[in-house]
Structure 1
Amino acid sequence: MRKILAAGLAIGALVLGLGVVRALSADAAVVPPYHPSRLRDIGDSRQVVVVTGNGRTSSYATLRTYQKNSNGSWSQKFAGMPARNGYAGWEWASRRVQNTGTTPMGTFRITTAFGLKANPGTRVKYIHADSDDYWVGDNRDPKTYNLFQSKASGTRTWRKGESERLAAYPTQYEYAAVINFNRPLGSTISWDTAHGQYVTSQPKNVKLGSAIFLHINGAGSTAGCVSLRRADLIAVLKWLDPAMTPRIVMAPLADIGRA
């Protein structure tokens, strides 16, 4: 009887153990909603930055980085990085309104970076900004809206008071990547010699907002950008490779699959 009981207990333990292993295996196989394989608009990107917010009204987020392998699978490049977003939380890119403190939800290219210091080693196009450089947010001037301006010339058509003087943010803009939210295509931007400014032949929606960047942390939340610790931002910049068509996908965790 004891032998039968012992055998029964052993079989039960084995079955229970197999059940635990299977449960653990099933849990390991669950793909999180922010994994690139579950994102719908990343197109031909082989580098994807994913920012998941804690909630629609939260200014706290996590940034993750993924790179596509030669066999089509995805690998996470760095451990998740703590991030901050807009002080008013999140809004879908098509419904966002300028100066509301929200971070746009959606998928965007990353093609340009800039900074008040020399290129830290990124391979994307890098602009070394100086004390008289601005990012235009003047919604009365759609041809210069959401463009970098290398000098605030006296003949410009945009207003300084409605634009960001980059040197006014020496910590945040030491280095930054431009998130192509509400941005014109690079091929449409040209230099207007008469007014000493860059202009676009395809003006964007001046109500949605401008100057959405991935930059270094300031004192807290942002006005709509996403910010990281300095070392984390530099690591991401060095990793970005234009040949891999990097994109950034941003939304609260509950919405990331629709971004």
Structure 2
Amino acid sequence: MPAFVRKGAPALLGAGTLCAALLLTACAHPAPTPRPPAATPAKAPASPAAQGPSGEARATDARPRSVPHIPGLGPRTQARVPDGTTQVLVVTGATENSNTATAVLHQRAAGGRWYEAGGPWSAHNALKGWTADHSAGDLRTPIGVYRIGDAGGRLPDPGARLPYDEDPEFAISGTGFRGEPLEGSFDHVIAIDYNRVPGRTPLDKERPLGADKGGGVWIHVDHGGPTQACVALHRDDLRALLLALDPAAEPVVVMGPAPELAR
């Protein structure tokens, strides 16, 4: 498994630059190009366990009910999921303008049927909701199907199978839209492949679609309020997701308002 090598490497972003680059930019657009199919697990694994702030169990049953299609996704959206993908994180908002969402990790079993492998988890997205045509600073989260294959954070790798870049440059300070502290939001992150080069640390600044299309769209620790463009999960839920994601499953995130994803 590839891994990020950070020792002795020059810092890609200063702390101040990171805040400006990641909290004042956005992301979204074309779905990832399907890669050759990866081997699917012969047996549905038990779902990852996690607890929310109130201590309630967030893991699904060890023997979940499987279905032929991913719940909540219409035929057009489902068709955008690459054939080789066997893990799909679905992040659903109620409306185009909502900034709260629900995230569920779905896994495909050997027979081709899908079952819930994690969640449902509560989440935040961008302040103004969702968009199918994201641009930097629009305060909306991009709608679409995107690869999620690279992770990192200020804290050590919790045991992720994804390549993980531990780096102090993931530090952040300041306050969010509700005055909540942002510190710790980037303790663990998963990069969403919107306007970025796959296979690199989430800190990488190259933007293939141009700077005006935003970038730095991550799944990160929820700070208790809406984001600039990212998706945010409770700390324990994000760690559970990190531990569950498998590069061999070619995971993707499918995200947007429910009416759009149902098409």
Paired residues for 1:1-259 under 5 Å:
32-34=71-73, 39-43=78-82, 44-92=84-132, 95-130=133-168, 133=169, 166-168=171-173, 169-186=182-199, 203-258=208-263
1:54, distance to aligned residue in structure 2 (A): 1.2
**In 2, distance between residues paired with 1:204 and 1:80?**
32
1:41, distance to aligned residue in structure 2 (A): 1.1
User: Which segments of structure 1 move beyond 4 Å, counting only runs of 4 or more?
Assistant: 28-31, 35-38, 197-200
Amino acid at match of 1:65: L
Structure 2: which 5+ residue stretches go unaligned? 1-66, 174-181
Cα distance per residue 1:57-100 (max 9 Å; x no partner): 110100010111011111101231111100010001xx211011
**In 2, distance between residues paired with 1:230 and 1:173?**
10
Q: Secondary structure at the match of 1:79?
A: strand
The answer on whether the counterparts of 1:40 and 1:257 sit within 8 Å (CA) in structure 2 is: no
The structure whose residues are more often strand, as a share, is 1
1:170, distance to aligned residue in structure 2 (A): 3.3
1:185, distance to aligned residue in structure 2 (A): 4.0
* 1:146 aligned partner: none
Amino acid at match of 1:69: A
Amino acid at match of 1:106: G
The structure whose residues are more often helix, as a share, is 1
Judged with a 3 Å threshold, the aligned counterparts in structure 2 of structure 1 residues 36 and 124 are, in CA distance, closer, same or farther, namely farther
Q: Secondary structure at the match of 1:48?
A: strand
**In 1, distance between residues paired with 2:70 and 2:165?**
38
The answer on whether the counterparts of 2:74 and 2:262 sit within 8 Å (CA) in structure 1 is: no
Structure 1: which 5+ residue stretches go unaligned? 1-27, 134-164, 191-196
1:30, distance to aligned residue in structure 2 (A): 10
1:49, distance to aligned residue in structure 2 (A): 0.3
**TM-score between both structures, scaled by the size of structure 2:** 0.65
**In 2, distance between residues paired with 1:29 and 1:126?**
32
**In 1, distance between residues paired with 2:90 and 2:233?**
13
Amino acid at match of 2:147: R
Paired residue total: 187
**In 1, distance between residues paired with 2:125 and 2:101?**
7
1:245, distance to aligned residue in structure 2 (A): 0.3
**TM-score between both structures, scaled by the size of structure 1:** 0.66
1:198, distance to aligned residue in structure 2 (A): 6.5
**RMSD value over aligned CA atoms?**
2.7
**In 2, distance between residues paired with 1:229 and 1:125?**
21
Cα distance per residue 1:191-223 (max 9 Å; x no partner): xxxxxx9686x8332211111000111131111
**In 2, distance between residues paired with 1:102 and 1:72?**
34
Amino acid at match of 1:91: T
